């Protein structure tokens, strides 16, 4: 729930969704046709790919690194050969590289993303890090994964699910490709519930981030979308209900930085 004084202080004006229904037809705060969202999202990430990693650091003041470390710590990948993870909407490879390193370079991770520009940056980074034996890059849609049932030990998705138009389809696919006993972990921006943190966060998001985007990346628009799409995404409890609805069990979540980010966990049992 957004406090009224926040609305007056910042430019924001949208209530959070409680289901995924609106996600298919919302591009940030704009209503779009059902088939229009994905091409618009793709355009955003084609435009930002080259500056994506730098902007992530600037926009989150480096905090995205801590949240990603927390995801990998909770996943706790084993240090043995043959363990396989799928990182969906994996973009430039941040999660995959951390998983591989945490496994002592034993794990294998498929980085799947719909956007070749993001994957190209990831592949270049993997080469520089000497991780090409452990990481594959796959261009595909989270809603239709090109993998057999029961293929992976873990499925991760970081700051990706809110960009996927049909969230239920993506969650169903996550469940399908995981083996029994497999782990689902989703890191996403969520609902801040700490007074003053919410105030500062709203002002930063709606006023500073688009301006920084303009300054560093030459365009404010993609960053307005990123901020607005955060506001449209269901809050912690609503998203947990969706994860359960997809068939996952023992669904829980942890908040980071007062709920700026939340990490949802579930198991295919
Ligand atoms: C904010 S980036 C997150 C990248 C990376 N996971 C990270 O945490 O740095 C969101 C990513 O989701 C990808 N994406 C959007 N829609 C997708 C879809 N339907 N299927 C797969 N990836 C998608 C975008 O191309 C983009 O790379």
Residue 1 — pLDDT band, cuts 50, 70, 90? Answer: very low
Digit-coded pLDDT (tens) for 185-219 = 999 999 998 888 888 888 888 888 989 888 888 88
Tell me the C-alpha to C-alpha distance, in Å, between residue 78 and each of 84, 92, 101, 104, 110.
10, 23, 11, 8, 16
State whether residue 47 is helix, strand or coil: helix
- CA 4–ligand 1 middle distance (angstroms): 32
| Residue 160 CA, ligand 1 centroid: distance in Å | 4
Q: 107 with 99: CB under 8 angstroms? A: yes
Asked if residue 163 has its Cβ within 6 Å of ligand 1, the reply is yes
How far is ligand 1, taken at its centre, from the CA of residue 158, in Å?
A: 8
Measured in residues, the chain has a length of: 269
- Burial class of residue 238 (count of CB atoms within 10 Å of its CB; 0-12, 13-18, 19+): middle
CA–CA dist 112, 172 (Å, integer): 16
Mean pLDDT of 34-41: 89
Give the position, in ligand 1's atom list, of the atom nearest the Cα of 87.
Answer: 6
pLDDT tens-digit readout, 226-239: 888 898 899 999 99
Mutating to test ligand 1, I would choose from 114, 161, 174, 256 the residue with most ligand atoms within 8 A of its C-beta, which is 114
Q: Give the position, in ligand 1's atom list, of the atom nearest the Cα of 142.
A: 20
Question: Angle at CA 225, nearest 5°, toward 221 and 229?
Answer: 170
* Nearest Cα residue to 207 out of 230, 227, 231: 227
Rounded Cα–Cα distance for residues 23 and 245 (Å): 17
Name the H helices within the chain.
Answer: 4-9, 37-48, 52-60, 63-75, 94-102, 116-129, 167-177, 197-203, 209-217, 221-232, 236-245
Q: How far is the CA of 91 from the centre of ligand 1 (A)?
A: 5
Cα dihedral 68, 73, 75, 81 sign? positive
Q: What pLDDT, on a 0 to 100 scale, did the predictor assign at position 10?
A: 45
Alpha carbon distance 96, 77 (integer Å): 11
Q: How confident is the model at residue 12 (pLDDT cuts 50, 70, 90)?
A: very low
Q: Indicate whether residue 159 lines ligand 1 (CB < 6 A).
A: yes
CB of 90 closer than 6 angstroms to any ligand 1 atom: yes
- Out of 163, 171, 217, give the residue to mutate to test ligand 1, the one with the largest number of ligand atoms within 8 Å of its CB: 163
Distance from Cα 149 to the centre of ligand 1, integer Å:
22
> How do residues 145-160 score in pLDDT, each as one tens digit?
999 999 999 999 999 9
8 A C-beta contact, residue 217 and residue 51: yes
Q: Is 45 in the pocket of ligand 1 (CB under 6 A)?
A: yes
CA of 164 to the centre of ligand 1 (A): 8
């Amino acid at each position: 729930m957004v406090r009224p004084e926040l609305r007056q202080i910042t430019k924001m004006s949208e209530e959070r969704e409680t289901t995924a229904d609106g996600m298919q037809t919302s591009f940030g705060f704009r209503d779009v046709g059902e088939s229009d969202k994905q091409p618009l999202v793709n355009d955003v990430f084609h435009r930002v790919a080259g500056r994506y990693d730098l902007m992530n650091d600037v926009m989150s003041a480096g905090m995205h690194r801590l949240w990603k470390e927390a995801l990998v710590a909770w996943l706790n990948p084993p240090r043995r050969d043959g363990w396989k993870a799928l990182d969906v909407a994996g973009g430039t490879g941040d999660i995959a590289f951390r998983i591989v390193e945490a496994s002592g370079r034993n794990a294998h991770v498929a980085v799947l993303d719909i956007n070749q520009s993001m994957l190209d940056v990831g592949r270049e980074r993997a080469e520089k890090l000497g991780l090409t034996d452990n990481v594959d890059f796959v261009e595909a849609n989270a809603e239709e994964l090109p993998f057999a049932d029961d293929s992976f030990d873990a499925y991760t998705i970081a700051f990706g699910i809110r960009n996927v138009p049909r969230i239920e389809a993506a969650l169903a696919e996550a469940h399908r490709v995981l083996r029994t006993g497999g782990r689902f972990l989703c890191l996403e921006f969520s609902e801040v519930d700490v007074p003053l943190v919410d105030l500062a966060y709203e002002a930063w998001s709606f006023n500073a981030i688009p301006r920084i985007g303009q300054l560093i990346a030459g365009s404010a628009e993609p960053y307005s979308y990123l901020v607005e799409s955060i506001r449209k995404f269901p809050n912690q409890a609503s998203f947990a209900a969706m994860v359960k609805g997809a068939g996952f069990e023992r669904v829980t979540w942890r908040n980071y930085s007062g709920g700026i980010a939340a990490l949802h966990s579930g198991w295919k049992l």
